[in-house]
């Protein structure tokens, strides 16, 4: 099955979905450094620069549209502009592309602050577009990573797939385990592992070409193992 990637970053979401068995059909990323990384690892995938200027005329049909829209205005570290902010407000472009392309599935990633700063609007918009959704906070260390990186994942599925009603109930049941992945015991174990030898986990930016850009891109990236777990559940639910 085919997936399209919005706000691709350096491809953490895309890598995880590929591991699960999805084929990446296109990517949209505006940051020059991230675009160069994508070009290196996905040289044959069509790439576009700005979510505000693409639509069905540019993007091939896909079964899944996935992406983590900018978090600055919904993060607890920000000023709380929410989805009215210039950066997190790009959610509305995400929603426009969903409306215009009508994929079977949508996968949205963001920081936990979205729960208090726009979650109702995101879920309400998905509902208006004909999607039901499951969501949960998932820590990267809960699927084997050595860092915490807790993020919110929303899996939305169309109310009708191949003209059949009621498919959403089957898909929803498949995603109930999503709410059990980010358990605290696993998160604590991963955090302790990270603290035991932090120098082995992180390299500094000094002396590395594009070091600051690299570190920023890694900090914004989706943990591939989480995306892989979700991607596999999607494929299993539609098998």
By the 8 A CB rule, do 46 and 39 touch? no
Catalytic residue among 15, 71, 156, 174: 71
DSSP state of 118: T
By the 8 A CB rule, do 214 and 6 touch? no
Residue 34 is among the residues annotated as catalytic for this protein: no
Which residues have C-beta within 8 Å of that of residue 200, sequence separation ≥ 6? none
- E strand or H helix at 170, and its extent? helix 167-174
By the 8 A CB rule, do 217 and 33 touch? yes
What is the Cα 128 distance to its own chain's centre? 21
Helix/strand/coil for 3: strand
Closest residue by Cα to residue 133 from 91, 171, 187:
171
Closest residue by Cα to residue 154 from 234, 56, 218:
234
List residues with catalytic annotation: 71
């Amino acid at each position: 099955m085919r997936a399209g990637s919005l706000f691709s970053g350096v491809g953490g979401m895309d890598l995880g979905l590929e591991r699960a068995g999805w084929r990446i059909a296109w990517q949209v990323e505006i940051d020059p450094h991230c675009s160069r990384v994508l070009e290196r690892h996905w040289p044959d995938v069509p790439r576009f620069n700005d979510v505000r200027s693409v639509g069905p005329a540019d993007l091939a049909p896909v079964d899944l549209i996935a992406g983590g829209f900018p978090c600055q205005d919904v993060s607890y570290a920000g000023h709380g502009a929410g989805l009215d902010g210039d950066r997190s407000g790009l959610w509305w472009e995400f929603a426009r592309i969903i409306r215009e392309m009508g994929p079977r599935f949508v996968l949205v990633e963001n920081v936990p602050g979205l729960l208090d700063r726009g979650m109702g609007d995101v879920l309400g918009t998905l509902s208006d577009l004909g999607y039901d959704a499951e969501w949960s906070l998932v820590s990267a260390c809960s699927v084997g990573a050595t860092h915490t990186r807790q993020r919110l994942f929303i899996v939305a599925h169309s109310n009708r797939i191949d003209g059949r009603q009621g498919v959403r109930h089957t898909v929803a049941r498949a995603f109930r385990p999503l709410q059990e992945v980010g358990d605290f015991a696993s998160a604590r174990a991963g955090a302790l592992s990270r603290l035991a030898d932090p120098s082995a986990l992180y390299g500094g930016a000094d002396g590395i070409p594009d070091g600051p850009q690299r570190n920023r891109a890694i900090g914004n990236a989706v943990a591939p193992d989480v995306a892989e777990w979700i991607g596999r559940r999607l494929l299993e639910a539609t098998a």
